[in-house]
Structure 1
Amino acid sequence: MKPKVLAIIPARGGSKSVPRKNIKELAGKPLIAWTIEEANKSKYIDRVIVSSEDKEILQIAQKFGPYVPFVRPANLAEDNTAGIEPVLHALEHFADYDYVVVLQPTSPLRLVEDIDGCIEYFLQEKAKFCVSVCEVEQSPYWMYTLDNCAKMQPLLKQQSLITRRQDLPKVYTLNGAIYLANINLLKQTRNFITDETIAYVMPIERSFDIDTEEDFKICEYLYTETLM
């Protein structure tokens, strides 16, 4: 039988870096709309929901088609609330799903091909957890810490310094775009990052995570460039 997949888009109202970030306009529509529209295109996702404590966010989100089953409790939308808590709260309302995919609205350049590609890879590998990553542009092999006298110490210990970029080992970072898990196991671990988590590699150009006003400008520029 085809497994049932629930997509959760968490979008709290508070944001210190950019006020009302999740509904701030990006290239003509609210930031959250970019994620909702791509999730709605998925051939694997059975239901898309938005979780928020903010009624304005929920009202705007509903215009783009997701299911809004509840208003998230305010205590699950505080600055110090762990990101997994709203996910586990949402899962309490949906008992008949096999897998959950969490799509943060701060990744507006993520496409449905990334979402479905991740789900396909997850199912193909019979994985328990999967997260999206991208290759880092600045290698940690060329990074240093400084002591009190400003003397440099390599962040990563090496027998000899790698001097050519093409010789650097490939290194990846979480890009925040896609988190996927077996629901029963996620309830046990309360974390997407485990010893059994596999990585789905996304292109750097679709891995932008919005956190500042400058990020909005960069993403708007990148979106405009793709249309030209």
Structure 2
Amino acid sequence: MSRSIRPDAVLIQAVIAGALSFAHLHDVAAAAGQSGWKAWAYPISVDLLLVAVWRRLRTARRDRAAWTWFVIALCASLGANVATAGLLDLERVPAWLCILVAGWPALAFLGGTLLVHSTADPADPPQAVDDVPATSEVEMHRTDEPDPAPAPVPELTPTPPVAGTPAVPAALLDHARKIAAAHQASTGSPMPANALSARLQLPGPMADAIATQLQLT
């Protein structure tokens, strides 16, 4: 199924503006002494420069050179439109305008060549490898000496109960052994029997029996 052709107001406006600008550039070039096909080549030259600028700005919107040539081509197009609106006597063209018209082909060729064959500066240039700071290697050998390991706490081995002493429950004896081991680990010396008796708060015979089995003095 063929698509229906719909009129586009912007496209029609562009065709009208292009045709009028094309004719005005031709008239200015003809009035400046460029007759025949030469006068028709000038509007083509201006339009081609605008196309080159537009293609460049699509990839590099911050390119100052592209914007400079865009202003030059726009001034040439708008200047011809304004000049043919009655502000310029086409029968008596000033000498400076003839010089501009005569020098325009070389200027347009220079601008188009620079825009097409020059590379645009990237917005975010990649970082060079040399600029990346080298990752510091992990130091495998320590210069300082490590802290000495704590001395192992000697295990207290209970002695068999002496005849005539009260029997000590296993849970109570294990609890007393932990208290004595903690005291020796913190102070570096065995726990006195009287200190263990005061800590456990047991009767004298029972505390003496525990101290005897733990070899405390």
Structure with the bigger percentage of strand: 1
- Structures share fold, TM-score greater than 0.5: no
Structure index of larger Rg: 2
TM-score (norm 2): 0.23
Structure with the bigger percentage of helix: 2
Q: Could you say which structure has the greater relative contact order, defined with CA pairs below 8 angstroms and 6 or more residues apart?
A: 1
